Amino acid sequence: MKEVGEIVSEIETPTGIYYDCEIVQISCPACGETFKGMKRSAGGFIAGHHAYHEFVNSQDLIIEAMGGV
């Protein structure tokens, strides 16, 4: 497993080859899930959690607006 801060000179993925990738670690502020890996994938992790939590929150607001469960 790669360590945080490590620069990986070359990573081959199904979509292409990444060069000089820094390994980063981030946690979702909403649920605390943690991801470690390339920035490119970290972006997907953040975007995915953002979309997910926004969706769940909007569902909650709709339910609340309709008078609760």
CB of 42 to Zn ion, least distance (A): 13
Q: Report the length, in residues, of the chain.
A: 69
What does the alpha-carbon distance between residue 68 and residue 65 come to, in Å, rounded to a whole number? 7
Of the candidates 16, 27, 17, the residue with the CA atom closest to the CA atom of residue 49: 27
The smaller minimum CB distance to Zn ion, of residues 40 and 50, is found at: 50
User: Per-residue contact track with Zn ion, 5 to 44, x per CB under 5 A?
Assistant: -----------------------x-xx-------------
The smaller minimum CB distance to Zn ion, of residues 14 and 32, is found at: 32
